[in-house]
Amino acid sequence: MVAIDMRFGGYQGPASVHSRALAVLKQEIEARLGAAVRIAVDGNIVARGQKASDLLDMVDSGALTLCYFSTSYLGRLVPEFAVLDLPFLVRDRNKAYAALDGRLGALLTEKLGGCSNYRILGFWDNGFRHFSNRVRPIRRPADCRGLRIRNLFSELHVRTFEILGFEAVTLDVRDLVPAVQNGEIDAQDNPLTNIRNFGFLDHHRWITLTGHFFGSAALLCHAPSYESWPEEVRAAVDAAAAVATSAQREFAAAEDAAVLAEIDPERNKIIHLTEDERAAFAAAVKPLVDAQFDRFGEELIGDLA
């Protein structure tokens, strides 16, 4: 039997929760299939000067077998992915996992598979996103006014930031770090693990734990490749993806506590919002959230809230 070649891609360094999960995935597939597969991992294409979003094109074309990527980018193909970008909705990551492993995730997987070359093998934890900035503490929507903030390629993220008073600037991950370093942007939002790993603590004194978005990342496989594999290979990859997804979620949850414990309060100020302060942010964006409930319905969104 000729060995099947698989190529995995990512956009973060080896210490990231995603890169560590890719390593688990590789290990689990090899343990199940042995010499029947050859797996190469390109863990950080950004380090070679490519845009992170190039991963999507590479998996779509089959140049890569598999990657992880924020589901925010998939709304252009399947509008229902927008429900995963609703601000101040998710407060319990385990509830989000249940929705993504249940009917919501099944619907998104089916719809994406029907209109693209992507097959979703799992939904990874892309973290609760928090604001960091170099200008002032953020405790209420008025504190956001006039700050230039980096935005993902997501219409809902842009609209959320604009409602709060930010000036949204769309940047790929490749361009985000230099934009923070040179002051091109004043603020950004990311999970705590990225705020640390991307070096933002060196440039942004204030970190506000808003948890305004709960991010998900899809583990995307090139569907034509998947469908061409023998049944035993597909089964092994599915089983390995389930193990890697569980491990990735554990990594992500543990990172939040670890990063907070590492931050030096003399250097960086962590701002914990009161319930009233968080409620003020949620109230500001409520019309946006309500519009999406009207668009997609309580049945689709309710499992997340």
pLDDT for res 1: 64
Residue 224's pLDDT band (boundaries 50, 70, 90)?
A: very high
Query: What contacts 179, CB < 8 A, 6 or more positions away?
Result: 150, 169, 171, 185
- The residue-averaged pLDDT of 23-34 equals 98
SS3 content of the chain, % helix, strand, coil (to 5): 55, 20, 25
**Domain layout of the chain by residue ranges:** 4-301
pLDDT for res 152: 84
Cα distances (angstroms) measured from residue 257 to each of 24, 139, 254, 261: 22, 21, 6, 6
Cβ burial of 125 (10 Å; 0-12, 13-18, 19+) is: buried
Distance CA 260, CA 254 (A): 10
Distance CA 110, CA 184 (A): 40
Cα distances (angstroms) measured from residue 146 to each of 46, 76, 103, 136, 288: 30, 28, 40, 12, 20
Residue 38's pLDDT band (boundaries 50, 70, 90)?
A: very high
Question: Residue length, the chain?
Answer: 305
pLDDT for res 119: 98
- The residue-averaged pLDDT of 265-286 equals 97
Work out the percent of the chain whose per-residue pLDDT is above 90.
Answer: 94
Model confidence pLDDT, tens digit, residues 49-67:
999 999 999 999 999 999 9
Model confidence pLDDT, tens digit, residues 245-275:
999 999 999 999 999 999 999 999 999 999 9
Mean pLDDT over each residue of the chain, to the nearest integer: 96
Residue 242 scores a pLDDT above 80: yes
Residue 189 scores a pLDDT above 70: yes
Residue 137 scores a pLDDT above 70: yes
Fold of 4-301: D-Maltodextrin-Binding Protein; domain 2 (3.40.190)
Residue 231 scores a pLDDT above 70: yes
pLDDT for res 299: 83
pLDDT for res 76: 93
The pTM assigned to this predicted structure is 0.93
